[in-house]
Structure 1
Amino acid sequence: MRVTSLLRPTARCLARPTTQAIAQRQPWLRSLATSTQQTTSDKPEASGNVLAKNEQDEPRYPRSIQALYLQPLRREAEYGIPSCDLQLRSYSLRNLEFFADFALRAAYYLKLPAFGPVPLPRITERWTVPRSSFIFKKSQENFERVTLRRLVQIRDGNPETVQLWLAFLQKHAYYGIGMKANVWDFDKLGVGKTMDTIDQAAGEVIESKWSHLGQNRDLDTVKKVEEFLDKVRFDIDSDKRAEGERRFVQGRYKREEALKRKEAAAAASNADS
């Protein structure tokens, strides 16, 4: 089992939809449903025409817009084997229901059998803090935060298609929505040996990184410094090696000249004496 953790909700609670807004939306559902039945029964040839008209001689809405007012379509699962459990979290019920509907519609167009959204128990958190730090420091104030959750399950899904679905939801994520996905992958027998090989290869890569950390890290020796200076990239990028060699040769030449002058002065003093 592989667990993919995404961001938690960060937005504050928004106003919940009122009953008035719901009451205004129901006539739309009835009118769209009736107009769709009439157009399909009376004029079957106009089903593919976007500019078709209803009985009131008014242009009807396209099918894609009419689908927004209806329940999302679903695919049927043949075996019923869970492939992914997507948990949605939010502090706003409106945002949560909207994004759950969006996830179901995206799963339908990717040919993934989706089930849900299933309401999960709420997470209630409360805090009691001092009201102020001056004259109101003895009075306390209570805060409460309720996290709403929904579960969407994918069954009989291809692992690549499930990853594509999760990536699409993450790309078009809605504000104030947190997602946590549990993905199941099925592999052939003997996968444990393959995982052991991967662990050894990963351990070698990690060991080279950990050697530079901590108190027991290996100190650079003269050979490593020479290897670093001999790299072509270092010579081309910075030319610090050529500059160092020039300064080294110049310093050695100055020391040799000073030594020669000192020897000449000593010889001259011996000759005078």
Structure 2
Amino acid sequence: MAVRTTSSNLINRTMSSLRGFPTYSASRLRPCSLSVTPNTIAAVQTEPSKDDIRQPRPLQALHLKPLKRQAEFGVPSCDLQLRSFSTQPLEFFADFALRAAYYLGLPAYGPVPLPRLVERWTVPKSHFIFKKAQENFERVTLRRLIQIKDGHPETVQLWLAYLRKHQYYGVGLKANFWEFTQSGLDLEGETGDARMQQLDASWSHLGQKISLGSVSKVEELLNSQRGKQAAGLQRSPAHS
């Protein structure tokens, strides 16, 4: 059986459903004006999202290659050799050393891969009846070279000390350090004797033997009670 719905029935049902809602007269309704300016549109369009926020520079630099400074004269100051049995810690610490050199103002070059060191050992596999069976062991050492040029000696020493303090496990360090002085007359050598005389008082306190001094001090030491007991003398020695 088909049910026909007329427009009057729909109006009655709609009115009955709206009886519980409050009604407003036309006098109580006020027009609302919304002002939209170009600045408002630009602010809505340029609102940054979480993906668009820029990371801090030090954190962003971790994903980039380490920065390097250019040497002016190209005079080598230090050769740092890194050694390890695996590649990952070696590459990680080489990157760390380059970044530390950049922030200390040192021109660093590298890392340059060096030839591998391959060591092999052949030992008996077991004892007694199995001693004829032998077993081979192999150890491969990976190396990288970082060179510092035009570096101040104190700055290079500070760089090496910082690397030793934060040395990564499984990575060995070997450094060759050069220090240069000006050529020509050694003007500082003229005052070398005067400096050595100033250090005599300090050097006299080092070592097991103390300088005896003059002849009178030696005679006074021998005539003392402790000197007599040590030498087995009951009376002071006669003067020659």
Above 0.5 in TM-score? yes
In 2, Cα distance between equivalents of 1:65 and 1:98: 16
* 1:226 and 2:223 matched: no
Q: How many residues align structurally?
A: 162
Runs of 4+ in 1 over 3 A off after TM superposition: 56-60, 188-191, 208-211, 222-227
| 1:143-190 deviation digits (Å, cap 9, x = unpaired) | 000000000000010100000000000000000111111111012346
In 1, Cα distance between equivalents of 2:81 and 2:159: 14
Q: Match of 2:67?
A: 73
Instruction: Verify the 8 A CA contact 1:89 1:179 in the aligned structure 2.
Output: yes
* 1:82 and 2:76 matched: yes
Q: What residue identity is the alignment partner of 1:156?
A: D
Please provide the CA RMSD for this pair.
3.5
Match of 1:62 among 35, 46, 56: 56
| Change beyond 3 A, Cα 1:84–1:53 | farther
* 1:164 and 2:196 matched: no
Q: CA deviation at 1:210?
A: 8.9
Q: CA deviation at 1:209?
A: 5.1
Q: What residue identity is the alignment partner of 1:102?
A: F
| Change beyond 3 A, Cα 1:79–1:53 | farther
Match of 1:124 among 107, 110, 118: 118
Q: Match of 2:10?
A: none
Q: Match of 1:270?
A: none
In 2, Cα distance between equivalents of 1:73 and 1:132: 53
Query: What 5-or-longer segments of structure 1 have no aligned partner?
Result: 1-51, 212-221, 230-273
| 3-state SS of paired residue (2:130) | coil
Q: What residue identity is the alignment partner of 2:61?
A: A
Match of 2:148 among 141, 151, 154: 154
| Change beyond 3 A, Cα 1:57–1:132 | closer
Could you tell me the percent identity over the aligned residues?
62
In 2, Cα distance between equivalents of 1:210 and 1:226: 18
Q: Match of 1:134?
A: 128
In 1, Cα distance between equivalents of 2:161 and 2:170: 18
Query: What 5-or-longer segments of structure 2 have no aligned partner?
Result: 1-46, 210-220, 230-240
Superposition map of 1:106-255 within 5 A: 106-189=100-183, 226=226
In 1, Cα distance between equivalents of 2:161 and 2:51: 43
Q: Match of 2:86?
A: 92
In 1, Cα distance between equivalents of 2:101 and 2:48: 31
Instruction: Verify the 8 A CA contact 1:53 1:60 in the aligned structure 2.
Output: no
TM-score (norm. length: structure 2): 0.58
| Change beyond 3 A, Cα 1:225–1:118 | farther
| 3-state SS of paired residue (2:128) | coil
Larger radius of gyration: 2
In 1, Cα distance between equivalents of 2:87 and 2:52: 35
In 1, Cα distance between equivalents of 2:172 and 2:70: 27
| 3-state SS of paired residue (1:135) | helix
TM-score (norm. length: structure 1): 0.51
Match of 1:104 among 73, 98, 102: 98
| 1:107-133 deviation digits (Å, cap 9, x = unpaired) | 000010000000001100000000111
| 1:44-71 deviation digits (Å, cap 9, x = unpaired) | xxxxxxxx956x6454432211111110
In 1, Cα distance between equivalents of 2:123 and 2:95: 38
| Change beyond 3 A, Cα 1:53–1:175 | farther
Instruction: Verify the 8 A CA contact 1:88 1:177 in the aligned structure 2.
Output: yes
| 1:76-102 deviation digits (Å, cap 9, x = unpaired) | 111111010001111111111000000
Q: Match of 2:11?
A: none
In 2, Cα distance between equivalents of 1:74 and 1:105: 8
